[in-house]
Structure 1
């Protein structure tokens, strides 16, 4: 990352992000609606979808210049999204302090869905977030992910839900 001033500005933004702001953006009713959308989508495909919303990076990560992508990859590993039977886990990571979204797809999915497609899903969220429409934008993005997974990995009978559907708030 750049200068000390840039590091300080970024670290300060993360340090001063509040849990109450995150709860206003993602209240319990929104988290429940997202979990229900993930569950409904997973009934139509073989993928496993996780949503992690982080109010801010830990101070040392922000100071050290950890990118949104690096953080998403770490959480993908930490929460076992990579560890699904069909290698078809998808993490949608939201960094509220920086208003950034990243999607990490397991290798089974990554072979069939390109980066540009995932970036379009991220743009759905960032465009909605700019207007304060966290609920609707997130549900629209989850619907897009479910549609992509249904198209490329349709359900093939009964399956076990390998990952919890409720979003994680960090």
Structure 2
């Protein structure tokens, strides 16, 4: 195993779910959940947040990236399975202070990959500074703006909006 891989392995083994709960306590998770709910009232998309303290050992052994794990979680959490194919996963990996935005095909057709990367880069400063809640709020707001622009809620809709995915962040 290469030296960098050992270093990465140690970094990931030092983080666990208790650490995740320290950086995102219950009050912060409640605020993030409300932010997602408020956002989803303005568009027909779905936003799902997944925060993992570290990668599973199987990912570390094969030197998988945070992006690869985010794509897997996108599928496991069924973000790809929304009615309008416009779900977005906001994925945060605490051990590497990495954020990944994974959008379903309908929204991906509207937003260039470079734009997604620019959003991730802009939010990176908050995570590097340890401001995880603020970084996630910025992510929600950025995704909200894209969904409102491309999939706004029908202004004349009288029926309650179907909420296809949980609004509460998943902490692992």
C-alpha distance in 2, partners of 1:91/1:36?
Answer: 16
Q: Give ranges in structure 1 of 5+ residues lacking alignment.
A: none
Which residue pairs with 1:78 in the alignment? 76
Which residue pairs with 2:51 in the alignment? 53
Contact 1:93/1:103 (<8 A) preserved:
yes
Matched residue SS, 1:82: helix
Aligned with 1:146 (options 144, 147, 151): 144
Please tell me whether residue 167 in structure 1 is matched to residue 156 in structure 2.
Answer: no
Contact 2:70/2:100 (<8 A) preserved:
yes
Structure 1 residue runs of 4 or more that deviate by more than 4 Å after TM superposition: none
C-alpha distance in 1, partners of 2:96/2:130?
Answer: 14
Farther off after superposition, 5-14 or 72-81: 5-14
1:63-111 deviation digits (Å, cap 9, x = unpaired): 2111111111100001100000100110011011011111110001000
Matched residue SS, 1:53: strand
Contact 2:17/2:171 (<8 A) preserved:
no
Count of residue pairs brought into register by the alignment: 168
C-alpha distance in 1, partners of 2:7/2:130?
Answer: 23
Contact 1:55/1:97 (<8 A) preserved:
yes
Aligned with 1:91 (options 65, 74, 89): 89
**C-alpha RMSD of matched pairs (Å):** 1.3
TM-score by length of 2: 0.92
C-alpha distance in 2, partners of 1:164/1:64?
Answer: 31
Contact 1:10/1:63 (<8 A) preserved:
no
1:28-75 deviation digits (Å, cap 9, x = unpaired): 111111110110110100110001000000122112111111111100
Contact 2:98/2:127 (<8 A) preserved:
no
